[in-house]
Amino acid sequence: MRYWRSMRFRIVFGFLLIVAPLVLFLMYNNLYAARIVRAQLSANYGSLIRTEVNANDALLKSTYNFLIQLGTANDSEMLSLKTLPVSDPEYTLAKVRLYNRFLIDTNYYKMVDTFFVYLTKESSYPLYSTQNINKSNALNLLLSSYSAEFIANEPLQSDRWETVTMQDGDSYLIKAIDIGFGMLDGALVRTDTLNQTLAALDVGPEGSVFIMDGGGGLLSSIQLPDRLDSDFRTAVLHMKSGADTLQWKNRNYLVLTEASQYSDILYVVVTPESYILKNLPLLQKMLYYWVPLLSVMALCGYLLYLQRFLFRPLTGLIGGMRKLGYGMLDVRLPAQAADTREFSLMTTTFNEMARQIEALKIDIYEEQLRVQKAEYKHLQMQINPHFYMNTLNIIYNMAALRDYASVQKMSLHLADYFRFLMHGDRTTVPLESELAHIRHYLEIQKLRYVDMLDYEINMPPGHLKLNISPLLLQPFVENAIVHGLTRRQQDGTPFRVLICSEDAADAPAPYIRVLISDNGPGFPPALLEALDSGIFADGMGERHLGIWNVLRRYRIMYGEQAGLLFRNSPEGGAVVEVLLPFQQQGTFQEMHTGITQQETEDNGDGTDAGSR
């Protein structure tokens, strides 16, 4: 029997005869749809980038107008700074008032990082207010050098902003205005702030949204894909229009650019064309509309066969995937007896995948709720309302008894206690500051419990400069008072807390061991077992969020370098051992120095920052 007369040949030949023109049509349709999608995406992204750049330019213009108004208006603070000698007290008060005004202005101009004023008659750093207090040293150097160079060059007045880069690599736009008498005012705007809205665009893993200068230099602190190198950015600069397709290293990119009116910067959006077109459902449209319409008469029986064994299971699978994409995680595909082995396997696999996704999403949601709950409760722990109200009640009773010396003592301890908490956003603090905070807490508790509490803090002077995470030790002391003192059987002796440190000679590197012990009943066996097993470190100790929070921050800060140990003393009482490394001292000291410098400038008039 000849092969061309066989059923296999006829099915294959008939399939090819029908598919060939459809494939050609599909290719043309794909090319046409790709052009439409590319043009639509280019128009949408182009409109968005123009809107965002115009909004940013409006911000730069309004900030420039504000600086002009600040330097030219008959403002009492500015006139005092221009005319009064540096030694005059009114001169210092004018600086304080101007600094406070800058604080208010940075809250109004949300995207402005820093406002500053530079006076040549002072040898100190410029007066400025910034939203980024962790970079005070770098800001001092940048503003001082730029201001001195600005005054020396005497540039012409213009509304153009210049680009500057700090030592850490962050890029800024800066504008300064000479307001006479050897004085200028200015502002800094971080380029990442200008790009934060556009950065949220979905451009794919090989695309990027960034800002660069007129020479192609990158001004955004993001890691670009390897293909988007300096040569690529140079090619972007030579584009003939603001929206074009750029072929680079055998790949096509859709590139949209928009220049700022007030600075030599260029906003750039880059996305691969393959990412734009990856989800284009052209094949699905062909299968469900065009193919049945063109071949319904000639291939009716063939389509019925395909419908029964191919299209029906495929439609069910696609419908299930769509529902799953819409968030209907309870969708399941029914098993059909007529399904082929392949579709039966696909149905089973899809149902298992949907079940796993549903379980994973629930777990992630519950984890987010638990983390939010833990962080919220930790914020509550930082300023305990019960502790605060009890302390105020003690002060009231002391005042009623006319014990004014104790009232003064309690008030000072309470003020210093909350002043430390108000600076809780710092990354590190010296161990000496943490111990001072603990001492204020214990002194308040001593005034509360009178003869029932005693404590001792014994630290070598060399250990006091070690930088640690804020509130790393205080929760253990507070836990000892809350649980140890209240559960201890009274025998006429006071409840005693001992805090000391020693060099950890058994450690492989320079470490110190901080011991926090008491003479209370000690840790309950169940709690001690949970601590030793690592339940709290893994985030499972929700009933003891104070300990869990410390363990979490301890793990993040030190990783595997150090350790925590909880045990009960043979003489009775709880003991907490905290092992702290010395090798990170340099980094922590630099961070602390930056914070201290900022606090010093914030208190330039000698007034305590906590009272402002």
Asked whether residue 4 is assigned to any structural domain, the reply reads no
* Among 68-72, 315-319, 515-519, the range of highest mean pLDDT: 515-519
CB 329 within 8 A of CB 354: yes
Where would I find the beta strands (DSSP E) of 504-546? 511-518
Asked whether residue 424 is assigned to any structural domain, the reply reads yes
CATH number of the domain encompassing residue 110? 3.30.450.220
Asked whether residue 479 is assigned to any structural domain, the reply reads yes
**Dihedral sign, Cα of residue 490, residue 496, residue 497, residue 502:** negative
Residue 497: the pLDDT is 93
Cα angle 314-315-317, degrees, rounded to a multiple of 5: 65
CB 261 within 8 A of CB 161: no
Q: DSSP string spanning 214-275?
A: TTS-B-S-S---TTS-HHHHHHHHT-SSSEEEEE-SS-EEEEEEEE-SSBSEEEEEEEEHHH
Q: Report pLDDT digits (tens) over 552-565.
A: 667 767 766 567 88
Q: Using alpha carbons, select from 216, 236, 115 the residue that is nearest to residue 175.
A: 115
Query: Within 10 Å of residue 444's Cβ, how many Cβ atoms?
Result: 21
Look up tokens 């492989």; give the residue. 508
Q: What is the CA radius of gyration of the chain?
A: 35
CB 386 within 8 A of CB 374: no
Q: Please say if the pLDDT value at position 487 is more than 80.
A: yes
Q: Report pLDDT digits (tens) over 302-335.
A: 656 656 666 667 777 777 888 877 777 777 878 7
102 membership: H or E segment, kind and range: helix 89-108
Range of the domain at 85: 74-193
Give 366's pLDDT tier (boundaries 50, 70, 90): confident
Q: Please say if the pLDDT value at position 415 is more than 90.
A: no
How many domains are contained in the chain? Answer: 2
Give 500's pLDDT tier (boundaries 50, 70, 90): very high
Residue 425: the pLDDT is 57
409 membership: H or E segment, kind and range: helix 404-422
In the numeric block, which tokens belong to residue 216?
């192609």
Asked whether residue 409 is assigned to any structural domain, the reply reads yes
Asked whether residue 19 is assigned to any structural domain, the reply reads no
Asked whether residue 451 is assigned to any structural domain, the reply reads yes
Q: Which residue has the higher pLDDT, 565 or 294?
A: 565
Alpha-carbon distance of 213 to 198, in angstroms, equals 17
Asked whether residue 604 is assigned to any structural domain, the reply reads yes
CB 427 within 8 A of CB 589: no
Q: Report pLDDT digits (tens) over 85-142.
A: 877 788 788 888 888 878 777 777 778 888 888 887 776 667 777 777 667 778 888 8
CA distances from 611 to 237, 418, 603, 606 (A): 53, 11, 10, 11
Phi (first) and psi of residue 116, to 5 degrees: -145, 160
Give 23's pLDDT tier (boundaries 50, 70, 90): low
Residue 540: the pLDDT is 45
Q: Which one-letter amino acid corresponds to residue 11? A: I
CATH number of the domain encompassing residue 539? 3.30.565.10
- pTM assigned to the model: 0.44
Alpha helices, H only, 488-543: 525-533
Of 174, 193, 212, the last residue of a domain is 193
Alpha-carbon distance of 358 to 324, in angstroms, equals 9
Residues, the chain: 612
Q: Which one-letter amino acid corresponds to residue 540? A: M
Asked whether residue 329 is assigned to any structural domain, the reply reads no
Question: Which is it for strands 453-458 and 495-503: parallel, antiparallel or unpaired?
Answer: parallel
